[in-house]
Amino acid sequence: MTATAALLEKLRLGLPPAAIVTDPAAIAPHLEEWRGRGVGATPFLLQPGTVDEVALIVRLCAEAGVAITPQGGNTGLVGGQTPQGEVLLSLKRMNRIRAIDPTADVMTVEAGAILANVHNAAQTVGRRFPLSLGSQGSATIGGLISTNAGGVHVLRFGMMRELVLGIEAVMPDGQIFNGLRSLRKDNTGYDLKQLFIGAEGSLGVVTAATLRLFPRPVGHLVAMVALETPEAALQLLQRARDETGALAAFEIMNRTSVKLTAALPGVRVPFDPPPPWLALLEFENAVAEGFRDSIETMLAGAIEASIAQDATIAESEKAAADFWSLRDLMSAGHRTVKTPQVSHDTSTPVSAVPAFLKNAGAAVERLSPGARIVAFGHAGDGNIHYTAIAATTDSPFPAEQISAAVHDAAYALGGSISAEHGIGVFRRTELVRFKDPVALTTMRAVKHALDPKNIMNPRVLFEPV
């Protein structure tokens, strides 16, 4: 009997039938990378319903020397959730809201809770969980923690790391770490929960978290602004921050990205023809009085100073949702292109975004003349999603060299090769090239200390040795 078959027999003794799936048709959707970048393989899928069941699974896998790939909503963009022979552990059945305390502004949820459901639960008690991104209808709290997700409100609320007060996790030997604290202040040594945030499932299985909640905004307004250059976008960012004090999101999109996305059904662009750059600004405030006036004055000032070419404010929640829909569908927009393409998730200091776009663009043009650039993203955080697309199917398109050049351009400006998506499997080789060697050695030492058998998601972060 193989190790996995023997393991399955032991698991059947300790788990309810609903927690074990062996039907290939039921497993298949969990093995597909959503953009079609590879298909995974697993001997079976486990779907525990409680933390004790997760602990049993991990302990038995560790004893059998069989590796585990945890999975949440399967929306990850770096391949870390797709097993290649490991046991697949889906947290989707662990999706309960365990507790909400609007006085303490905290909420404890299980790892499989979908972000949109967490938003709704917070709303029922007059509060808000501010993490927001295009995949919020599928991405889970466990996945968002494990990738330290960012999204569109980092400018105001920070990344997932800033929004988590406590974590419950199953360690690689099956012990349960109960770190579900809701304290704002707790200086009692190493903050172990931080190890699991951004670990991509390599140090254990996150089973629940205590999250920070916030008051719901009273004033809410979304605007689109037409711009000539990324430099103008930075000037607008500064004005919007300084003059309104209410900026919650600042996204930019270049004309190529807007045109490709506008071709999708139901997508509207407020300016015709689309300008070289579009900025989407979201404002939020605790008081409604004077709120709209301050934004209108700021936008009029930006136009007068020739920073902005034009600006429009969404006059209804539906119009605001349409503005956001253009931004949220950006990835889907360029996926329809048939010529080769390669994508990146870079960050630089905010002030270096224009230089990054210029330098990366020149490098791509050298390697693939005529290539189109799709550039959009969270400019307020210095985070640009940058895709090079070959001009024709016959054009030279050395994808690896292009990626290396784009990463070099970000790194040379003090930037990062992964702003918010993580390293996963797709960026492992590049991590070695850019990460500080001492940091990389320390990361390996932490992994070895916590997971000496290399059970937990062994393919992410590190190149196989």
Q: Tell me how far, at minimum, the Cβ of 199 lies from ligand FAD, in Å.
A: 7
Q: Tell me how far, at minimum, the Cβ of 134 lies from ligand FAD, in Å.
A: 3
Distance CA(133)–CA(403), nearest Å, equals 24
Task: Return the C-alpha torsion angle 448, 449, 455, 456, nearest 10.
Answer: -90
Q: Tell me how far, at minimum, the Cβ of 12 lies from ligand FAD, in Å.
A: 23
Using alpha carbons only, what angle is made at residue 432 by residues 152 and 206, rounded to the nearest 5 degrees? Answer: 50
List the one residue out of 82, 91, 72, 92 whose CA is nearest residue 35.
82
Q: Is 289 helix (H, G, I), strand (E, B) or coil?
A: coil
Q: Are strands 341-347 and 383-389 parallel, antiparallel or unpaired?
A: antiparallel
Handedness of CA 358, 359, 360, 365 (dihedral sign): positive
Q: Which CA distances in Å does 79 have to 29, 348, 353?
A: 14, 23, 27
Q: How far is CA 453 from the centre of its chain?
A: 28
Q: Tell me how far, at minimum, the Cβ of 200 lies from ligand FAD, in Å.
A: 4
**Residues 146, 196 contacting (CB under 8 angstroms):** yes
Which parts of this chain interact with ligand FAD (CB under 6 A)? Answer: 34, 69-77, 80-81, 91, 111, 133-135, 139-140, 142-144, 146-147, 149-151, 200-201, 205-206, 331, 420-421, 424, 457, 460
C-beta closer to ligand FAD: residue 81 or 359: 81
Q: Tell me how far, at minimum, the Cβ of 293 lies from ligand FAD, in Å.
A: 31
C-beta closer to ligand FAD: residue 40 or 311: 40
Q: Tell me how far, at minimum, the Cβ of 8 lies from ligand FAD, in Å.
A: 21
Distance CA(291)–CA(294), nearest Å, equals 5
C-beta closer to ligand FAD: residue 77 or 224: 77
Q: Tell me how far, at minimum, the Cβ of 66 lies from ligand FAD, in Å.
A: 16
Q: Tell me how far, at minimum, the Cβ of 71 lies from ligand FAD, in Å.
A: 4
Cβ neighbours of 273 (radius 10 Å): 9
C-beta closer to ligand FAD: residue 38 or 290: 38
C-beta closer to ligand FAD: residue 15 or 31: 31
Residue-wise DSSP of 304-345: HTTS-SEEEE--SHHHHHHHHHHHHTHHHHHHT--S-EEEEE
Q: How far is CA 263 from the centre of its chain?
A: 25
Q: Tell me how far, at minimum, the Cβ of 221 lies from ligand FAD, in Å.
A: 21
List the one residue out of 225, 221, 205 whose CA is nearest residue 70.
205
Token look-up 């409604």 returns 288
Q: Tell me how far, at minimum, the Cβ of 401 lies from ligand FAD, in Å.
A: 26
C-beta closer to ligand FAD: residue 226 or 455: 455
Both tokens assigned to 306: 């020739």
C-beta closer to ligand FAD: residue 140 or 368: 140
C-beta closer to ligand FAD: residue 143 or 232: 143
Q: Name the residue with the smallest CB distance to ligand FAD.
A: 143
Counted residue by residue, the chain has a size of 465
C-beta closer to ligand FAD: residue 356 or 376: 376
Both tokens assigned to 112: 């499989």
Helices 51-64 and 3-14 cross at an angle (nearest 10°) of: 150
Going through 228-297 in order, the beta strands assigned E by DSSP cover 247-254, 277-285
Helices 317-328 and 255-262 cross at an angle (nearest 10°) of: 110
Q: Tell me how far, at minimum, the Cβ of 147 lies from ligand FAD, in Å.
A: 4
C-beta closer to ligand FAD: residue 359 or 383: 383
C-beta closer to ligand FAD: residue 44 or 271: 44
